[in-house]
Amino acid sequence: MFEDEEAFGEALFFDENLSLHRTQACATCHDPARAFTDGRVGDDGQVRAVSLGDDGISLGDRNAPSAAYAFLSPQFHVGTRSRHNKQSANRLYEGALGGQFWDGRASDLEGQAAGPPLNLLEMGMPDIEAVAERLYENEEYRRALAQFGGVDTLDDARQAYAAMTRAIAAYERTDAFAPFDSRYDRSLTGEVALNFKELTGKAIFFSQFANCGICHQLFSEGDPIGERVEPFTGFEFHNIGVPQNADVRALNGVMGVDDGLASHLDDPSLRGAFKVPTLRNVAVTGPYMHNGVFAELRTVLQFYDHFVNDEERALNPETSLPWAAPEVSATVATDLLRVGDPMTDNDIDALECFLRALTDQRYESLLPDDGLCE
C-alpha cells in the first residue's frame, strides 16, 4: 500500500507497463540520474537530440526538457511580468507565460503527465481505456486509485487516468525534483564560497553586460538572500533564432518548420517561439535548445554572443561553418538578442563556470572534469 499520493506517483513515474510495448516509463525520458532528462545515446555514442519511442523506432521532434523544477512554472496564461532590468525597453514582458512542454500546450503538471502515454511517438498507448487496463492489472494500483481518486476510478477509465496524472504530478512536486542545493544555492547561506571564475560569471549573468537575466531571472538579485527559490527562468516564450535540426527532421521525414507556440496559439507572430527553460542543471543536461541542435553548453553561449559579436563568433564551433539560419526567421526576438556587449573567451569561460554552479549537488559528479573552473 502506498503511504501517500506522492509515493503512488513515484511508482507510476517508473512503470514501463504504462507504455504499449512495456519498455518505456516517464523516467525513461526524464531519468532522475541525469537531472530528469533523457541520457540515452545513439549509434554515434552521443546523447540523442530527441528521444526514442517505446517501439524502438520512432523519434520525437523536440528535445525532452528536464522535469526538474518543472512545478515552479505557473499555469499557462497570457499576461505580463516585470523584469529586473534597468533598460526601460526591456522592463516589461507581455505575452504567453508558463505551462508545460516547450510550447506551453499543457497548462500544468497534470496536463503534462497526461500527454506521453497517448503520444504515438512516445509511450504509444492507443487510448485512455488501454492505459486504465494497465493500471487495473496491478492490485496495488487498484487500491491506490480507490484511495486517492475514489472508488469510481475502478469503473471509469477517464477518472482512473485523471487520478494517474494527479499522482504523477504530486510526485513531481516533491523535493526529489527540486532540492535547491547547487553551489549557487549553498553560497547564498554561506555553506560554500563561489570561486573567482564563478563569481565573475555570476556578475556577468546578472549585469546588463550580458543581460541573461532579462529572460532567465525571476527574482530581484537572482534570489532573496538566504532563500533558495530562483528558477532561472521567467517562463516567457521567445523565438531566439535557433536553427532547424536538419538531421532530426531528415530522420523523421518531417517537412516544414516547428511553429512552437503558434502551434498552440493560432497567432503567426508567435511562430518559432518556445518557452524559456530553467538553467538549473543546464551544464549536465545537453544537448540544448528545443530541438537539441547544439551539443555543448559553450556553443549555446557563443550562439547568443554572435548576435552582438558576429565578427568574433561568425562560426558555429561544432561545425566550423557559419551559424545556420533561424528555423523561423520572421519572428526572431532581435530586440532582446542584440541587447548587451560582446564577450571575450574569458567572459564565456566565467559564465559557463557560473552555469555549472547551478548544478544540483547530486549531479556534480556529472560535470566535465576539464579544469575550466579551477
Nearest to 116 by CA among 46, 183, 40, 60: 60
Note the pLDDT of residue 152: 94
Cell of 362: 547530486
Q: Measured between alpha carbons, how far is 122 from 26 in angstroms, rounded to an integer?
A: 10
Question: CA 344 to CA 364: how far, in whole Å?
Answer: 26
Range 170-175 average pLDDT: 98
Q: Where are the alpha helices (DSSP H) in the chain?
A: 5-13, 26-29, 109-114, 128-137, 139-149, 157-172, 183-188, 196-206, 213-216, 246-252, 297-305, 334-337, 345-356
Q: How many C-alpha atoms does 115 have within 13 Å on its Cβ side?
A: 14
Cα 353 to the center of its chain, rounded Å: 20
Give the whole-number percent of the chain exceeding pLDDT 70: 98
Looking at the DSSP bridge assignments, the partners of residue 274 are 238
The residue-averaged pLDDT of 174-182 equals: 97
Average pLDDT, the chain: 94
Position 223 confidence tier, pLDDT thresholds 50, 70, 90? low
User: pLDDT by residue (tens digit) across 295-342?
Assistant: 999 999 999 999 999 999 999 999 999 999 999 999 999 989 998 899
Q: In whole angstroms, give the CA distance from residue 208 to residue 339.
A: 8
Domain boundaries defined on the chain: 5-64+109-176, 84-90+179-366
Fold of 84-90+179-366: Cytochrome Bc1 Complex; Chain D, domain 2 (1.10.760)
Contact partners, residue 300, CB within 8 Å, separation at least 6: 288, 289, 294
SS3 37: strand
Alpha helices in 138-224 (DSSP H): 139-149, 157-172, 183-188, 196-206, 213-216
Residues with Cβ within 8 Å of residue 356, at least 6 apart in sequence: 198, 283, 367, 373
How far are the Cα atoms of 63, 104, 218 from residue 97, in angstroms, in the given order?
20, 8, 12
Q: Which CATH class is domain 5-64+109-176?
A: mainly alpha
